[in-house]
Amino acid sequence: MRPDIMTLGKGLGAGVALSAVLATERASCFEPGDQGGTFNGNPFGTAVALRVLDIVSEPAFLEHVTHMGRMLRAGLEALAQEFGGHVRGRGLLLAWVLDRPVAPDLAERASDLGLLVNAARPEILRLMPSLRIARDEVELAIALLRKAAAGLLAAAIALPRAP
């Protein structure tokens, strides 16, 4: 399936404010230069996007992301086995779905240890590391998350689990 129109953002600029709208010739209502906007026609942004596309197009990049995603998932699944819950997501965008609504407390404990994670919902801890994360960083993240979870979730074992 190929979309007629697609929007891109965030990752395209690798931290630089940048977005793009891609459209097939049939779907586009613009001629080159017609569309104006805050981030349009910026040579710096364009150079950044082209470099990002070069990097993510390299076969080794996707292999690395795939490998790190599997490694992170395995670590999270071990934590879920140990403390309860399950893992969902794909690649390096993963979530530990907890048995209890303690994700905000777990995220705060992790932050105190130097690990930034997101409590997307009371029972969902989301991890979304850089696509360039290294093996030792994945190992450290899992170790810190285990340490953060140990006190919080071990103490909560006696509490009733969410349905």
What pLDDT was estimated at residue 161? 52
Given a contact cutoff of 8 angstroms between Cβ atoms, the answer to whether 64 and 71 are in contact is no
Delimit the domains of the chain by residue range: 5-57, 59-155
CATH no. of 59-155: 3.90.1150.10
What is the total residue count of the chain?
163
The pLDDT of residue 152 is: 85
* pLDDT given for residue 118 in this prediction: 95
Q: Which residues of the chain have pLDDT under 70?
A: 38-39, 155-163
Predicted model pTM: 0.79
- What distance in Å separates the CA atoms of residue 77 and residue 1, rounded to the nearest whole number? 32
Closest CA to 148 of 110, 114, 105, 96: 110
Q: Residue 93 in contact with residue 28, Cβ under 8 Å?
A: no
Structure-block tokens of residue 87: 């893992």
> Longest Cα pair distance anywhere in the chain, in angstroms?
64
Structure confidence at residue 11 (pLDDT):
81
